[in-house]
Amino acid sequence: MYLSTLPEWLSYISSVHVTEMDLGLERVKKVAERLKVLHPACTVITIGGTNGKGSTAAGLESVYRAAHYRTGVFTSPYLFRYNEQIRIDGQAVEDEKLCAAFAKVEAARADVSLTPFEFGTLAALVLFKDEVLDVWILEVGLGGRLDAVNIIDTDIAVITSIAIDHVMWLGDTREKIGAEKAGIFREGKSVVCGDEDAPESIVETAHRLHAPFYQRGKNFHFQEFADSWTFTDEHTHYKNLPLNGLATQNMSVVIKVICLLQNHLPVTREIIETGLKNVSLPFRIQIIKGPITKIYDVSHNPASVAFLRKKLDTLACTGKTHAVFSMLEDKDIVESILHMKGKVDFWQVAPLNNKRAASEELLRKAFETAGITHHILFFQTLAEAFRHTIKQAEAGDRIIIFGSFHTVAEVLSVS
């Protein structure tokens, strides 16, 4: 089968499997073996965790590209175009190449059913295999142990953070979630953990696999100042590193990984600084200044919303704070709202245009449970919510758009 356009392929792959999500490696690994993509001829970095995966991937990509290494990056989800998830040398893959990769996956799968994410993962691996790359940077989609990305053996595993999320799939405690995410570890291969309070399940898994374990706060450290930061580990001390708008704790993970891979992918201090200056990731607390400041953030669970709240505390605002908000139904909506309670003056809320969206009824109940019953309006669409907010806001006010990648994407489509 060969479909002629990317929209046709995306429609097709969404119909192949009976469910959108079906964790497990047996099916996807069988097809990967047929495609001969299981054994990359280059360095592989696999990134798991609750929050910070995208920032860490972007940081690594930027530094290695500054060093003139050829990079392949697979991330998820995307904001506007499916192609954003697969980057080669910093560029989103073209439609034509992506369609060709889908065709190869389709031919190889035969009678094997694949979810959309599995289809996309295999397409990315096919594209990377067809290029001569120095490093693959693979972001886990959900969990780790049973995620399609985990069919590839990594040279170095990264855990950015562990928080309660996706409880239906990963468990309802940090220990259970940590055990699932530690599934990306490999025998004798180094692990970098950005969580200072890592669950014992992560530490124990690394120990059992004889995987050298490097944890932020124990084996490497950072200190942030007003206009720079420092990184320190047993052998390295970098002063006056540039801030770049992304969480510095994630950038410290980036540098630790780079330090551990120096024998494979040498990088100088100057190159690290250049890479950190150049890195960007759209709509991670992205501030659009004007008479009315707009702040877009893809925070989508309590931990990331808490980080947003902390950042907002450092930003001056002379007027009122308005929120345009929505979340997916499988998230902890109440806890996310509570992190912003007292920080937002006026809420504008609507369901997402997504089959996993929280309904208006569910959103109403969440706000009631959080004790927010005043200065809140509900709309049928986020477009209506945003347009209303723009009309009501005054000079000096700020508008925060958050709750999901989909929330930001929908608002941006009409702003």
Q: DSSP 3-state assignment of 23?
A: coil
Q: What number of other Cβ atoms are within 10 A of residue 220's Cβ?
A: 22
Cβ contact 157:48 at 8 Å = yes
Give Cα 79 to chain centroid, integer Å: 11
Domains in the chain, CATH or no CATH each:
6-278 (3.40.1190.10), 286-412 (3.90.190.20)
Distance of alpha carbon 192 from alpha carbon 288, whole angstroms: 33
């609507």: which residue's tokens?
350
CA angle 62, 65, 68 (to 5 degrees): 155
- Residue 359 token pair: 């309904």
pLDDT per residue over 294-344, tens digit each?
Answer: 999 999 899 999 999 999 999 999 999 999 999 999 899 999 999 999 999
- CA proximity to 286, closest of 296, 272, 294: 296
pLDDT at 242: 97
The backbone torsions φ and ψ at residue 290, rounded to the nearest 5 degrees and listed phi first, read: 175, -175
Distance of alpha carbon 121 from alpha carbon 129, whole angstroms: 12
pLDDT per residue over 166-209, tens digit each?
Answer: 777 788 899 999 999 999 999 999 999 999 999 999 999 999 99
What is the average per-residue pLDDT within 155-176? 90
Distance of alpha carbon 284 from alpha carbon 99, whole angstroms: 29
Q: What pTM was computed for the model?
A: 0.92
